[in-house]
Structure 1
């Protein structure tokens, strides 16, 4: 139990005990030695056409939250898989947006699953330098030529780059070194509520696979590459206060603001209810919320030690990237990094009540809503977290606050000793990178359907740099400046070629 190693006094931040002194070093993994010069040359020749494929993908809107372009993007992906030679493809109906399935039979002994997401975030009303769906190439004086569009880095750009690499392998060598199953979803940005339905439809076939891969850009602005082996889980809630017979306030519609003299306010009630969930300085105040969390194991601690050693000295760079002055409540860099990997969160994503437009409109709203997320670590579960929040609100007299669970799933992780992990590290090393390896990241993705439901190892990786996911001016570097360590599109695709063959070699090893 992490509770045994967390020392929390009042509002003090929790202390996560790291007792191991040894550190994992990716340099201990031999570099991959495969050479596919004929495929690399083909990619160089196809550079313009491959860039056009990325632009084609980002020009197709696929905003899951607004159901904008979703069906068209799903069909686009399915069509691309068919053109690549996936003879068995399907749009997979779910209770929400459709999944996309494709199977490439290479006649191989082993099978790799490729996880993809084809949905993107909504577009911000201001801040974009170009139209978010133009797929424009923009000259960045510090980076080079970038593709600026929604989905450029999250995740359409790297995913289509992987398919470009796969196409080159097929065109030059006739077939990939493994059978491939692409299993894509259109609801990742919604918390993947229906992706388990897609997995369930193909569960028997998926259980025969050997591992799972997720293509993504992993280089930062300085060109340094990194790896992670897992993700946090997530719980996403809506909390609502509204006028009712018990707590008062208008019940049918907003009323004149002057009536606050004699009517209760659902808005204030929601704010007061939310305030019971944390201390005044933002630390979680829900009793027992961390009790289920297990302490970092030996492997995780060694990965952590290697990670912080690699990051030593770049605290200010990290803070500058967030336009922030310090870590939460004055944590030092090591404690902040430990919290990011091993601690849970409770975060307000948004608050909506009454009038929020320009100018003046004095009203007393009849309802107020907060969107809240919690990032979960082993061994927290979404349902237990919801129950603890409910219990706290009830205990503080807020049993009228409605809780709606919109999504939730547990964390997931693969060992650094897994053959797939070592194959990926070896590929990075072939390309001149010795990446720091994190046991997990602070973000969430539905890896659990593979690692827990199916018992498959899963890794993510790829060269390339992009930023601005969930923000204006999202981009992926296509042509880096001369002398930059950032991979351009062609090198990114060449990395995926190497990785595909390296993973194929790893799949020949016995399952862990």
Structure 2
């Protein structure tokens, strides 16, 4: 068994001193008891994570919608939430839970319980097994779909709550939990969960919202993200039926000589969406409402780049250069500031081994759009449709399956200050990022009617999200990286910090 680090709640006196506000003796004792309970729960917690990995909820495949929601509800109750309910929507249900600790401050937590689909043939071990393997230089990790995105960090957070419960110690804050099973398809029905009157009333009491994360780099650094791009998931479909040209079914490829091709029709349409570089969006009016990076945001990005490792990042991505051969800092500015039009996949005709001489009657492009302030989902979709229609591609179906706008949180908010203080107390190196290029539905919290600060928080480490052999660090051998117990302990530390820095809301 790999050596477990003695960080987080284990070093209580040091933590209190570093935080600049020595804890009362009773709080130190409580936190020591919570730390002991986390350690005692280690093996059981890993088994809970493994059991959760074995139950994948996959929104776009209709897999385990009800089962995933009920499982999430029970996990909340087991962790100490007094009330947990499944909230129906027009799609996949959500989960809402509350924990009243009698505290003056309430924190909201966002979970996703869905995962991306997977191809077992691409994995070194079965993707739902949750196998423990050694990762050289880092320690023992659990491999499985959802291990780091997001079931591992979420299990660590719930483990912290279970430790309070097992110790008979009240949490320093009240909690409101909202969870969804459609994050991986851009949260099409999550607004229905939040707009539920009971959920909305509880959320309005919160001082902020976090999604648990495991974002440490290999050298132990954590980047606090102050925002995230918005995302729109859609499909562009070209068919002989809608076009009025070409076949309504697959026909012999020899007929390409005198029959129109819906597949080439789609390709021609796709080619208008980007410039000649195959990269820069060319949709009419696409950059009209794009808000440039502020000087402060550029400073944050530059500091984050200076603390990063370009070679390691390129290696992890499997690339040799950034777009147009740009330097690391310029590429980082572009990553944060440029909205994108991306082709996830192309589907048409025969997709099996070898060839099959057909002229397809249908072609589909799976597209995602990434949005930056001050763009909106509705604006992006409207402009895309108008762009296609103007160029003679109005017959191409635009099926939007989900989406939301970008999110941004003030670095001076109490939530971000609590995150910074918690990491500083644990001696974890940190930077801030102006905006994540990835997306999550944070705008549902930062936008009206809630207008709350929101962001991810956590240490720990993992990788392979959306990819084969997804993994999450359990027992760390690297003193700079937090293992599972220490990540759970950091979440407990964070709750105390929120209690100190947060303000009560009526």
TM over 0.5: yes
The structure 1 residue matched to 2:237, chosen from 228, 237, 240, is 240
Distance 2:80 2:136 in 1: 40
Aligned runs of 1:86-485 on 2, under 5 Å? 86-201=81-196, 202-244=199-241, 248-251=245-248, 253-282=249-278, 283-311=280-308, 314-453=309-448, 454-481=450-477, 483-485=478-480
How far does the alpha carbon of each residue in 1:55-87 deviate from its partner, in whole angstroms, 9 at most, with x for none? 121122222221222322221221122223322
2:105–2:503 contact (8 Å) kept in structure 1: yes
Aligned runs of 1:27-66 on 2, under 5 Å? 35=28, 36-66=31-61
1:124–1:471 contact (8 Å) kept in structure 2: no
The structural deviation recorded for 1:191 is: 0.6
Distance 1:468 1:32 in 2: 38
Equivalenced residue count is 479
How far does the alpha carbon of each residue in 1:271-310 deviate from its partner, in whole angstroms, 9 at most, with x for none? 0110011123122222321110112234423322322232
Alignment match, 1:8: none
Secondary structure (helix, strand or coil) at the match of 1:352 reads strand
How far does the alpha carbon of each residue in 1:284-341 deviate from its partner, in whole angstroms, 9 at most, with x for none? 2223211101122344233223222323xx2222111111011012222111101111
The structural deviation recorded for 1:247 is: 5.4
The structural deviation recorded for 1:508 is: 2.8
Could you say which structure has the higher helix fraction? 2
Distance 1:296 1:99, change over 3 A: same
Distance 2:264 2:135 in 1: 45
2:250–2:349 contact (8 Å) kept in structure 1: yes
1:419–1:509 contact (8 Å) kept in structure 2: no
Distance 1:33 1:260 in 2: 78
Q: Which deviates more, 127-136 or 37-46? A: 37-46
How far does the alpha carbon of each residue in 1:200-222 deviate from its partner, in whole angstroms, 9 at most, with x for none? 11212211222112111011233
Distance 2:21 2:126 in 1: 41
Distance 2:354 2:321 in 1: 34
The structural deviation recorded for 1:199 is: 0.3
Secondary structure (helix, strand or coil) at the match of 1:442 reads coil
Secondary structure (helix, strand or coil) at the match of 2:175 reads strand
The structural deviation recorded for 1:459 is: 2.4
Secondary structure (helix, strand or coil) at the match of 1:154 reads helix
The structural deviation recorded for 1:351 is: 0.6
The structural deviation recorded for 1:380 is: 0.6
The structural deviation recorded for 1:171 is: 2.3
Unaligned runs of 5+ in 2: 1-17
Distance 1:155 1:171, change over 3 A: same
2:234–2:401 contact (8 Å) kept in structure 1: yes
Secondary structure (helix, strand or coil) at the match of 1:432 reads coil
Aligned runs of 1:5-84 on 2, under 5 Å? 35=28, 36-84=31-79
Q: Which deviates more, 439-448 or 68-77? A: 68-77
Distance 1:373 1:246, change over 3 A: closer
Secondary structure (helix, strand or coil) at the match of 2:491 reads helix
Q: Structure 1 stretches (4+) deviating beyond 3 angstroms?
A: 29-35, 244-247
Distance 2:114 2:473 in 1: 20
1:465–1:487 contact (8 Å) kept in structure 2: yes
Distance 2:412 2:485 in 1: 30
Distance 2:214 2:314 in 1: 21
Distance 1:142 1:463 in 2: 17
Alignment match, 2:11: none
Distance 1:440 1:344 in 2: 12
The TM-score with structure 1 as length reference comes to 0.90
Unaligned runs of 5+ in 1: 1-28
